[in-house]
Amino acid sequence: MTRAQIVERLEKADVELNSEDKPRYVGTILWREKGRFVNIPGEGYTMNDMATPLQALQGLMLPDEENDDEKGSDLI
């Protein structure tokens, strides 16, 4: 889910988000909880345990780590 989609669902559930930039606020919270959430490039956020191994690996790798076999090798 994108940050905007998450904001929309939270607001539908009557969750109050005290921020002028709600998607950014939600993104900050998700980033702080990066052990629980992963951002899949082009798809949005999901919980780590719900991502496929490849999606989780893509979300955890930085561009300069793409050839580092030690990062996330146990996810495949």
DSSP string, 47-68: EGGGS-HHHHHHHH--GGGTT-
Question: Rg of the Cα trace of the chain?
Answer: 14
Cα distance between residue 67 and residue 29, in whole Å: 29
Give pLDDT, residue 23: 96
The DSSP output letter for 20 is: S
Give pLDDT, residue 32: 94
Question: What is the residue extent of each domain of the chain?
Answer: 3-75
Give pLDDT, residue 43: 83
Could you tell me if 11 and 17 are in contact, meaning their C-beta atoms sit under 8 angstroms apart? yes
Spans of the chain, pLDDT less than 50 = 62-76
Q: What tokens appear for 6 in the block?
A: 């998450």
Three-class DSSP category at 17: coil
